[in-house]
Chain A
Amino acid sequence: MTDADPLAQQRAACPFCRIIRGEIPSTKVYEDEGFIAVLDIRPAAPGHVLLVPKDHAPILQLLPEPRLRAVFPLATRLAGAVKDAMISRSVDIVVVNGLAPGQQSPHAIVHLIPREPGDRLGNFDLERLETQQSDTIALAPQLEATVREVLARLAPGALAEAAPPVAPPEQSPPAPARQVGERHVEFDDPKQALAHVLDLNPDLRKLIVEQPSLVEDYVRQSPRLAKLFQGVDIPALSAALRAQQADPPRAKDMSDPELFAFIQGNDGLRAWLLEAPDELVAHVRENLRLSAFFEGVDVRALANRFAAFQGGAS
């Protein structure tokens, strides 16, 4: 170790790395190749466990990806073990990411804290929501886009399962569909069924565009998906959808009923138009996607028309 190796110095002095190396005694309750779990010596409640990655990383995001992906499923399983062992009502998983005041070491850890009704940790319930957060509300589109992007990689089906946006009337499925349940529709033509699914699931469409080979893997694995994609050349479909995306929808090309249906299918946009149209106007100026979508449209006038439409609809 040299002065030029600050991470090694930090690791050498880090109390959690020293616990992992056995240089500081601890009460270990779990260990595998990537993690140890020890009892907190300053517990918030009896049974308070610290889950410690063996990699020295100041924040969780800096863990190697396999470790990062493993940490919360493991924490959840250990939380179940702690809950059973302590016969507690529930367990909170708490992470402080970054150097908070009083934090002892820049080593990312996960707290597992048993909870009981009426315990002295009610502040963790976060029931008092009193701070205005207009800055964060303004960030909502970026938060949504970023989370969508990650979820599309981690669990694309979860996006596909999201409440489907309402398609504009002209894009609704054609007549041969049979409504057989609240959300379930049957088609005689498999390609029509696939088109319907793609209409309702923009994120599945995105997955096909961005990762056709992954979709092929899923289709090989699933008889249901194989039926849905029967006779479909997925790479060719991907290329076709990509070509469609080159010409994205624009508000000015839609009639009011189409546009209102589109807005109804987008909770964030709907809330913005109804509750904070001025903020939306500001974001349309800053956000390329929004400005492209609303190009040539008076957003405040649209908000008024949509509010009137909503009032009439309700």
Chain B
Amino acid sequence: MTLETGLFAMEVPAKGATRGHVRFALRSTAPEEVGTVALCGLVASAVLFERLKAQWTQFVLALGDAPRLDVLARWEDDGLDLTWEPVVLEPGRMDDIAGRIRDKAFPVSSSAPPAPVDRQAVKEPSEDAPAGLADHDPSEGDDWRVKQLLRIP
């Protein structure tokens, strides 16, 4: 194990999928936490790219039962095939799929997760709170940064 944190355990396996492979085992799939791990992965990929003189880098973030981020340095002759043969969809299937995804993606936003209505109704911003943190109640751990800090023993 190379680094263990509250969000992930980072490991350089003795043998990898390529000769530049770093693996992050995620502790959570909460979007903001995944985002933080992914940014750490990007930084790791930059180190691999620079130091191993890779041709490109690749991420595979698997959000299944054991969430995991694999960061790979890649070379044209590295023997790893991460391509796919495209599936052929029946006419009209794309529109059907798009409609279903649009319905589910409707509440999604890149700016912030939707806030629970009841919290907004009862919370008053604190005058003492610094700008940008005013609408967070650390006791509820809604700000993921504060939440992480609160977990210290």
Contact yes or no, B21 A129, CB < 8 A: yes
* A-contact bits for B128-153, CB 8 A (1 contact / 0 none): 11100100101100011111111111
Contact A147:B74 (CB < 8 A) given known A39-B97, A160-B152:
no
Q: How large is the interface on A (under 10, 10 to 19, 20 to 34, 35 or more residues)?
A: 35 or more
Contact yes or no, B49 A136, CB < 8 A: no
Q: Which of A83-114 contact B (CB under 8 A)?
A: 83-86, 89-102
Instruction: With CB as the reference atom, state the residue of chain A lying closest to B74.
Output: A100
Contact yes or no, B101 A81, CB < 8 A: yes
Contact yes or no, A98 B94, CB < 8 A: no
Question: Once bound together, how far apart are the Cα atoms of A268 and B52, in whole Å?
Answer: 20
Q: For the complex, is A204 an interface residue (Cβ under 8 Å from B)?
A: yes
Chain A residues near B136 (CB, 8 Å)? 221
CB distance from B89 to the nearest CB of A (A): 6
Q: For the complex, is B120 an interface residue (Cβ under 8 Å from A)?
A: no
Question: Once bound together, how far apart are the Cα atoms of A268 and B2, in whole Å?
Answer: 5
Contact yes or no, A136 B16, CB < 8 A: yes
Contact yes or no, B17 A143, CB < 8 A: no
Contact yes or no, A85 B139, CB < 8 A: no
Contact yes or no, B6 A34, CB < 8 A: no
CB distance from B63 to the nearest CB of A (A): 6
Chain A interface residues toward B at CB < 8 A: 27-30, 32-35, 37, 39, 42-47, 49, 60-61, 68-74, 76-86, 89-102, 115, 120-121, 123-126, 128-133, 135-137, 139-140, 142-144, 146-148, 150-151, 154-164, 183-185, 197, 200-201, 204, 217-218, 220-225, 267-268, 271
- Enumerate the 10 nearest inter-chain pairs by beta-carbon distance, A residue then B residue, closest first: A157-B148, A98-B56, A161-B6, A157-B149, A90-B64, A81-B104, A72-B38, A42-B86, A44-B84, A73-B35
